[in-house]
């Protein structure tokens, strides 16, 4: 297993945000952690990056305990935060070159172009500053950067929120291709349809508890209806008032 969370508990500001979650992601797999606002999705990613310290439980990257060698683990991971922080006054190529250098890597112009080809960023846009880019175009630059970092693992935080439907489809195709070429992808989302479209496995997170897991079988996508029902079914949500359920 490339990524593993085992009985993970996390407290933030004295609130139990993750309550014993366990899941694992194999090489070449897309795992979507699905949940409403405040379910603990971003917190889970921050734990894998070592930015948040779990109260108890285990996090493993490539079978190794994360806390034992955080530096090595981080080198294997590229992270796309909820809103990619790129520089508005630089163009796509300049942004990529700058952030790659920060990550201790260099890339030839042709390699950057190849990565931008892979994410289908229009050639005419590449020399323009990001000021006039749509959110979808920015996400493409961010994912091209992740491709060039060439890490084994990608953590994506709500990568399609704010994108239009065709940009979402396009993004999912890119993610699927990356996984099919051996990348391990953990993405978090509140989009049931999108998660079913792209993921091999879905973990349903509700108030810090993993309440269900769904897997694709025989190359078929996960059943959207099934996941949707589980996602909106409040039965497993004990002792919460309806107004608390911000799904
Ligand atoms: N910066 C923070 N400081 C303290 N608590 C936080 C912070 N961010 C989030 N939390 C708590 O963690 C819970 C889970 O948040 P988060 O992981 O961001 O959820 P999600 O990404 O699923 O919307 C929130 O309900 C909130 O109580
Ligand atoms: Mg979040």
The pLDDT of residue 143 is above 60: yes
| Mean pLDDT value of segment 146-152 | 91
Task: Please work out whether the CB of residue 41 comes within 6 Å of at least one atom of ligand 1.
Answer: yes
Distance 175 CA to ligand 1 centre (A): 26
Instruction: Report the nearest-CA residue for atom 10 of ligand 1.
Output: 12
Q: Read off the pLDDT band of 170 (50, 70, 90).
A: confident
Residues 101-115 pLDDT 10s:
998 888 899 999 999
Torsion angle, CA of 176/179/183/188, rounded to 10 degrees? 60
Mean pLDDT value across residues 66-80: 94
Kindly state the average pLDDT of the residues 229-239: 67
Separation CA 127–CA 215 (nearest Å): 42
Q: Decide: 206 in ligand 1 pocket, CB within 6 A.
A: no
Query: Given pLDDT bands bounded at 50, 70 and 90, which one contains residue 234?
Result: low
pTM: 0.90
In this prediction, residue 235 has a pLDDT band, given cuts at 50, 70 and 90, of low
More confident residue, 135 or 95: 95
Question: Looking at the CA of 35, which ligand is closest?
Answer: 1
User: Ligand 1, atom 2: nearest CA belongs to which residue?
Assistant: 12
Lowest mean pLDDT among 90-94, 110-114, 216-220: 216-220
pLDDT, residue 103, reads 86
Looking up tokens 């990056």 gives: 49
Question: 43 CB less than 6 Å from ligand 1?
Answer: yes
82 CA → ligand 2 middle, Å: 7
Q: How far is the CA of 81 from the centre of ligand 1 (A)?
A: 14
Tell me the pairing of strands 77-80 and 3-12: unpaired
Give, in degrees to the nearest 5, the angle at Cα 226 between 225 and 228.
65
């Amino acid at each position: 297993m490339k990524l593993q969370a085992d009985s993970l508990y996390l407290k933030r500001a004295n609130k139990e945000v993750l309550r014993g979650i366990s899941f694992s992601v194999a090489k070449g797999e897309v795992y979507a952690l699905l949940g409403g606002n405040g379910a603990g999705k971003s917190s889970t990613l921050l734990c894998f990056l070592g930015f948040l310290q779990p109260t108890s439980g285990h996090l493993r990257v490539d079978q190794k305990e994360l806390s034992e060698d955080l530096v090595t683990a981080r080198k294997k991971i590229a992270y796309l935060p909820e809103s990619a922080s790129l520089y508005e006054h630089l163009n796509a190529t300049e942004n990529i070159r700058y952030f790659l250098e920060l990550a201790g890597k260099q890339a030839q112009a042709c390699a950057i172009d190849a990565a931008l080809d892979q994410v289908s960023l229009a050639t005419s846009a590449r020399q323009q500053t990001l000021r006039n880019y749509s959110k979808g175009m920015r996400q493409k630059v961010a994912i091209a950067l992740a491709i060039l970092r060439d890490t084994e693992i990608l953590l994506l935080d709500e990568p399609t929120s704010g994108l239009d439907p065709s940009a979402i489809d396009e993004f999912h195709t890119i993610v699927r291709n990356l996984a099919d070429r051996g990348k391990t992808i953990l993405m978090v989302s509140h989009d049931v349809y999108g998660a079913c479209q792209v993921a091999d496995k879905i973990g349903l997170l509700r108030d810090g508890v993993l309440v269900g897991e769904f897997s694709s079988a025989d190359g078929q996508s996960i059943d959207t209806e099934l996941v949707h029902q589980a996602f909106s079914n409040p039965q497993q949500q004990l002792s919460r008032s309806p107004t608390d359920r911000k799904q």
